[in-house]
Each structure stands twice: as structure tokens, then as C-alpha cells.
Amino acid sequence: MDDVTTYLYSSLENDIYMKILEGFNFPNKVNSKEGYSIKLNKSSYWLKQSGRVCYNCLIKYLLKEWYKNDSFCPCIYMKILRNEFDIIIIYVDDINIIGTPNELTKEIDCWKKEFEMKDLWRAKFCLRLEIEYLNKGIFIHQETYIIKVLKMF
């Protein structure tokens, strides 16, 4: 799934000010933009802090929903209930969800209610790993990446 809005609209944890951009209209009383700045209320793509702000927003939701963070990798969250489970993998604003069919359906619906999400269905690539879905399982390889590296050299 792709998180469409969290990266752009997450609340900032610190005060961030920016210079006034060209074309911004001031009230008639102000003659010059010199010495003025704007305080941002929400995150934006071009901020250095945006990735971290987005991640914090997503994990706040996961912890509220009783997910446990993997001690080895900070981007993996798991929830296990009896015979059902979910594993959530976060990479910037992209989310991979692995789990049992009932939990997957329920969890995807919850994500869509909480955030504006685009369901990309089954992942084909993830961190240079190519994922193929077979009748008897999943085949993960790096053929496309290896060919790209070979062409470079």
C-alpha cells in the first residue's frame, strides 16, 4: 500500500520556519518581505524532517492498534492473535502487509479508514527484491537488479 497523505500532512513535532516564497501576497500595510518568515503547521515533501515525521505518525497508529515492534528491525511491526497474524513493513510511506487472509482484509480496511491509502495489491518489487507469486508459494530473487548491475560494469 502507498500512503498518499501522511508524508505531506503529518503534524510537525518542532517549530519550523521558512523564508517567504516569491508570489506570496502580504497585507497592504507591509511594504517588504525582508525580516518576515512563515511558521509551518504541517509537513511537506521538501522538508528534511518529513520522512521521520511520516514514520512517527504511522508507528503511533500501529502502537495504538497493539502492534509490537521487532527488536531487530525498527520498520517491522507484528500483531499475533490466536491463529491470525499481521506483519507490517514500513519503508518511508510505502507499507507491505503480510498475514493470514482474515487479518489482511481487516487490517487493510483499518488502514484505509485511518489514512488515505492506495492499495497497490501484491508487491512486485521491494528493496530491490523481485517477488513472484506461484501456486505453491512465493519466489523472491534479484534478477532485474543483477542484470542492471552487470550492464553498468
Q: Are residues 112 and 130 in the same domain?
A: no
Do the Cβ atoms of 117 and 1 come closer than 8 Å?
A: yes
pLDDT reported for residue 27: 66
Cα distance from N-terminal residue to C-terminal residue, the chain:
34
Q: Are residues 94 and 150 in the same domain?
A: no
Q: Are residues 113 and 133 in the same domain?
A: no
> 84: how many CB neighbours lie within 10 A of its CB?
15
Q: Are residues 85 and 143 in the same domain?
A: no
Q: Are residues 58 and 78 in the same domain?
A: yes
For residue 85, the enclosing domain spans 2-121
Q: Are residues 66 and 136 in the same domain?
A: no
Collapsed DSSP state (helix, strand, coil) of residue 147: helix
Q: Are residues 43 and 93 in the same domain?
A: yes
One pLDDT digit (tens) per residue for the chain, 153 residues:
777 766 666 667 778 777 777 777 766 666 666 667 777 777 666 667 767 777 777 888 888 888 888 788 888 889 888 888 888 888 776 788 888 888 888 888 887 887 777 878 888 887 788 889 899 888 989 998 899 999 999
pLDDT reported for residue 46: 66
pLDDT reported for residue 74: 82
- Residues 6 or more apart from 17 whose CB is under 8 A from it? 37, 38, 39, 40
Do the Cβ atoms of 50 and 7 come closer than 8 Å?
A: yes
Q: Are residues 117 and 129 in the same domain?
A: no
Q: Cα–Cα distances in Å, from 46 out to 9, 33, 38, 52, 120?
A: 12, 22, 15, 13, 24
Q: Are residues 91 and 142 in the same domain?
A: no
- Structurally, the chain folds into a number of domains equal to 2
Q: Are residues 58 and 112 in the same domain?
A: yes
Do the Cβ atoms of 33 and 26 come closer than 8 Å?
A: yes
